[in-house]
Structure 1
Amino acid sequence: MAMPNFNDMMKQLQQAGAKMQDVQKQLEKITAVGDAGGGMVKATVSGKQKVLSIAIDPEILDDIEMVQDLVVAAVNAALEKAADLAREELSKAAGGMLGGEDMLKNFNIGQ
């Protein structure tokens, strides 16, 4: 039985860490759009789950409660899409290493 080469293991961990840093940078560039009310409200978020913009059709501005509900729905839809995109990017970069889905929790993705 061969003994594990700890230098190789450390090198692999360093490479994985570098890949994860690259993915974190890529997530800043990814955007996802969610909409509600048939597109009357649109929210754009980054792959890091930050709201970038909200667009509201002026025709619905007279119904504040509806606007509020639609904004919440659009933001939640966009955040869900961004989390899915982030999971895909992290999974590609990890290549199944370092614990898969459990690893994503360390990056606060999809929680």
Structure 2
Amino acid sequence: MCLVTVLGNLLIILAISADSHLHTPMYFFLSNLSLPEIGFTSTTVPKMIVDIQSHSRVISSAGLPDSDVSLPFLEAWKRDMLLSVMAYDRFVAICHPLYHSVIMSPCFCGFLVLLSFFFFSVF
């Protein structure tokens, strides 16, 4: 299931980058939403499967700074920030359709994605 999720997200990224009709802000944000999903799936799910198989219910204090615990929280915050940016894009598209391409320029979309990826990485 882990492999299917990673391959599905990679397929989304490849399909959006390959088709020029999909180079709109909504699909740009969707492809960037696939990146944290790949990170979450490849770090959290294998650790969870190992813990289930070994019947381990203990999180050691040495494991807290590792990516097993801190990375999934960062990935969740990135996903939430990207979902907020996607909601803002839909708001602009519905409420200001004539100004959508001006407001959601490629430069501004790139800035919003960089902001979502690096804002919570600093903290």
Same fold, judged at TM 0.5 (above):
no
Which one has more relative contact order, counting CA pairs under 8 Å at least 6 apart? 2
TM-score by length of 2: 0.35
TM-score by length of 1: 0.37
Question: Higher helix proportion, which one?
Answer: 2
Flag the structure with larger Rg. Answer: 1
